[in-house]
Structure 1
């Protein structure tokens, strides 16, 4: 018998349309706290960005920002307290579909567009103490400024040409040109101060006085694993410093409050023989020296932008990082002392008050979507003060616990286990094992993709394992997984599965595995290694590693990771699922997006065609207009309904039900 189901209305319908908080911005004087978020549109075909005012006392909750409208996003405050944001609204309309522009909204008055660019603005940054803004926007080859870029775009549109000629990698980086950093002082005209390369990520920062701009420049074909940080004069564009380190990439630059240093994340990607490592570094702008700020810290500052103290001369820094299935806030003092400020939950979008006494953040967890919270800046392992109420998903259809065991090499392993209502020794629940994507990642936060609670609502228990290569468990966890995507991580997942199935409230005879991205790869690999599961779901996963490393938008990285298939075939033969396709007997559901450039569609087609040829039961759920994840509310509904019906059929033995919209 299956535990009670939570289907009135279907939980995945509520989940797909639930509002999503995405970020926070705090006014320079600390009096206004703005949250950005998304809500589902009326017909379920997309999410609409919006801005909300948060009561810092927590009494009045959250309300729409006066003067803002649907489509506004990415809030930040100018030095004078004006709220800045990006929006696709047209200048004369409340809501519109124009190119994304930069807008300014005073606390009293109407919003006005202050910067625009043909093809839109991607990101922006403001100076803490000056009327200066920097933003990232693209220029087509041959364009020297926004005006000439616009002429070239109109000519292409009039000629109905959307072809792109790539003269450097990576390809499929977009047809709107190379990202450039523009700086606008007061009400002056914006000035282009430098290109970021075809794969530029828009990371930009301004010094407090607006005199310097920092941006990251993309790797080149000659050094595909190395980018650099450029610090340029924000008036002339002259490069003052270029920081780089072979084999490393820098992200999320931010100036200290006195403008003397630049702090950013430094990331060394893994190779076949060296593990992934992430730290925070500071560049002294007088000497050019680079200092590792976390030399002995074993858990990464991942993800998130570092937050320096707003007090000039104060070397305090706050950051977040995965740790044992959570993502706490950490404080680093000037002497290098690190204090964990929170023990439970996952935090992001940190803001600090101008007197450096209070933090605001978004706090989520595997069992709760993000909410706005307030924290003390120094108290260790504190409980947050929630400023926004829980949303419409509570109570969740089940409970969360942990599973712990030991790997074959003695390494401690852990996983979250979501249990459905009513699971017991008398009514054991079927189990779905869901390894995470990455592989560098962790089940530490509320996932908007591959959330466990729609499964528990249907009566399934869900195991969320963190195997080798997961973040939050120190460098040992990285070293254990080196050189074998489908080896130690697979064995860790099986060890955690065995430990979970030792519980009396789980049914060891009715199990499935499902996953997305790296988790989708592990699901596919598992199908070739064991027949213990009754069903497999692979979403956006790799199947043929040799073809994948040639076709992905991160080809240089994966070729470095897997090696040259002509001379290092053993790496592919050890871990590529397609070489063992004949061993698959478990029914498989493949899910893939037609616009997926990270794991291109050919991986799903090859997987599907191999299984069909071999007579293995297989279904293929294809979303032509989706990318590596699923971003449309109605598609999320279809995804869960298809997966759950597939599991009901093969795990529970129920009759197959094709989703009505398919």
Structure 2
């Protein structure tokens, strides 16, 4: 195997940009988008907001730089853009800028400063850019605990925000904790990954006047819980009479994943519950005529069942699914959007891809769109304009992920109708560093067809007599899926001559309920078979070297990695990243007790089940050199899990290394640590590669 490609250096991650949010202007002529970038000098990943014309005629204009920003939302007339931002320097300045104040720098962020939304910095507030007058953004909210969501009122003069509002006693307790006082918790959900230790502070809705910043709390709109898992998600009706929000107002909200849909008047009266606590509900959005509300709903006790798009009558609450017949889950970021009073569009997960679908609000009669999409690119986000004429979307393939736009009536076009709006990673990769891409299928040990996405070195030749090493990289979830994607990891590996296999194992979504539920109630057998048989399939095709197979996975992928090395020595080396390996010990120390109980029961009632699903039970069978990583403050997959696995493997004389990322949660945030992670994996595999030993 000859590899003449220059390897993509780890330091190139500082140049890597990811588009994570989009918002199309009401007239469809502009799109605001959020891009995550690295600031090398500060060693931070920051979200920045840009605006660009949807016809691609001009380069995007940067609105923010020095602080973390996101959630762009256009005012109804399109003259203003609201965002959330945690801007440290501006918090120290007067909230109300002088009349006709000029921006302090051309990037609109008041100069240097800001901490990227870190744990000890300022909280997210709502800021508004006047795109007609120009100048810097104006701070609209000043909540001590920050805001968790907002929406414009239809008159453009008010916004509704969701924000925690501690009592005096709760605020005093928080101050004591900040001063290193004891943490005292009576709640069941005692911590949430990324948010920290929980308390009893309640989140409320506030109606805020944009000009005066005067806020009115809606006392009856609260869900009794703070943290990103249960956002109120306010949505203001087109006629201004009601605000929809999500909440669970029953007994012990910490012991359920259900959320209901409510509406309330802007003066805080007339709260009405529209659903019946049978779904985990999210992303409510009003029809243009205000008669109906669409939302995403799923089973709160069984996340393997595909989520669906529902439409509810805004008065009676009577609802029905408009996507059930497809047997496909709603893609992350692909929630429903109205294009007229009777029609919606959404992005659904379909056989290892994310694709747009048109939905009839009156019944379950969906139609797939975008025949021009192909099977090598995915629609990551979709947002139509308020007039239903134009739409922006994020399209990802192995070479790039960018913002595009099209006329809504061109979704059915045979030829590609997209206008490219951004080229955010232009110049990141040399031409010969862009991975090739193939979809492959094979039969697993049970005779079931499994699909995998394969990223190939540039110039890959299947007839090459010298096959490539392979990295089997396992996705998390497990209720997730791999679709064609542009990311940093894939070209990093392929530019070094590796083939990368991403297996959509049993339990993955996008292939229907039956396929996803095959994993329910089990761990460490079916998905292991699917991954291992996928590597065997690539060996049989002559693409990869049988003796140079490596394995890694993050989160549930880490769980699968550990389970795999307890059952086979198929791999030369493996890396289990941020996983759970003893489910009994994890119960109550992670933040997933509801999920574990719903799937496996309680550990003291079903101890044998918890033993069977834990890779530590069979850790004595591990012969594979194992790298184990964790975040020091990961409360989804606690670092103690990684410690247990490392010590257990090392005790047997098997080569093992433990890497703990200080102050990191479940995901790795700082660029230098992201670079360390990928380089550590590469070094581990290289050190245990039979071809280099």
Aligned to 2:391: 359
- 1:385 matched to 2:385? The reply is no
- 1:251 matched to 2:278? The reply is no
Mapped to 2, the partners of 1:310 and 1:191 lie a distance apart of 32
Name the SS of the counterpart of 2:676 in structure 1.
helix
Aligned to 1:192: 217
Name the SS of the counterpart of 1:115 in structure 2.
coil
Mapped to 1, the partners of 2:174 and 2:506 lie a distance apart of 50
Aligned to 1:308: 337
Question: 1:209–1:190: structure 2 CA closer, same or farther, 3 Å change rule?
Answer: farther
- 2:555 aligned residue (509, 512, 517): 517
- 1:73 aligned residue (66, 70, 80): 70
Residue correspondence of structure 1 range 34-433 to structure 2 within 5 A: 34-43=32-41, 45-65=43-63, 70-81=67-78, 82-89=80-87, 90=90, 92=93, 93-97=110-114, 98-107=122-131, 108-110=133-135, 111-142=137-168, 152=172, 155-156=175-176, 160-161=179-180, 163-173=182-192, 174=196, 177-186=201-210, 187=212, 189-193=214-218, 194-198=221-225, 199=227, 200-218=230-248, 220-221=252-253, 223-246=255-278, 248-269=279-300, 271=302, 275-304=304-333, 306-311=335-340, 314-334=341-361, 335-342=363-370, 343-344=373-374, 345-374=377-406, 376-377=408-409, 378-379=411-412, 383=416, 384-389=418-423, 391-394=426-429, 395=431, 396-421=433-458, 423-424=460-461, 425-433=464-472
TM-score (norm 2): 0.86
Name the SS of the counterpart of 1:277 in structure 2.
coil
Residue correspondence of structure 1 range 542-621 to structure 2 within 5 A: 542-621=580-659
Per-residue CA deviations over 1:7-32 (Å, capped at 9, x if unaligned) read 2xx44322343122121122223332
Mapped to 2, the partners of 1:270 and 1:3 lie a distance apart of 49
Could you tell me how far 1:375 is from its partner in structure 2? 5.1
Mapped to 2, the partners of 1:189 and 1:305 lie a distance apart of 34
Per-residue CA deviations over 1:604-623 (Å, capped at 9, x if unaligned) read 01101111222111011110
Per-residue CA deviations over 1:60-88 (Å, capped at 9, x if unaligned) read 232324x8865433211112321111122
**Contact kept? 2:48, 2:70, Cα under 8 Å:** yes
Could you tell me how far 1:421 is from its partner in structure 2? 3.3
Per-residue CA deviations over 1:149-174 (Å, capped at 9, x if unaligned) read 8x6489548x8245443232311244
Could you tell me how far 1:473 is from its partner in structure 2? 0.7
Name the SS of the counterpart of 1:393 in structure 2.
coil
**Contact kept? 2:274, 2:318, Cα under 8 Å:** no
Per-residue CA deviations over 1:226-277 (Å, capped at 9, x if unaligned) read 222221112125412252333x210111111112222111111555xx9423
Could you tell me how far 1:380 is from its partner in structure 2? 5.8
Mapped to 2, the partners of 1:60 and 1:526 lie a distance apart of 50
Could you tell me how far 1:366 is from its partner in structure 2? 4.3
Mapped to 1, the partners of 2:186 and 2:413 lie a distance apart of 52
- 1:32 matched to 2:30? The reply is yes
Residue correspondence of structure 1 range 423-462 to structure 2 within 5 A: 423-424=460-461, 425-446=464-485, 448=487, 451-462=489-500
Name which of structure 1's ranges 235-244 and 16-25 shifts more when overlaid on structure 2.
Answer: 235-244
Could you tell me how far 1:129 is from its partner in structure 2? 4.6
**Contact kept? 1:341, 1:382, Cα under 8 Å:** no
TM-score (norm 1): 0.90
Question: 1:516–1:239: structure 2 CA closer, same or farther, 3 Å change rule?
Answer: same
Could you tell me how far 1:426 is from its partner in structure 2? 2.6
**Contact kept? 1:253, 1:305, Cα under 8 Å:** no
Q: How many residues align?
A: 639
Unaligned runs of 5+ in 1: 144-148, 656-662
Mapped to 2, the partners of 1:170 and 1:106 lie a distance apart of 41
Name the SS of the counterpart of 1:560 in structure 2.
helix
Could you tell me how far 1:549 is from its partner in structure 2? 2.6
Mapped to 2, the partners of 1:79 and 1:34 lie a distance apart of 14
Mapped to 2, the partners of 1:64 and 1:329 lie a distance apart of 29
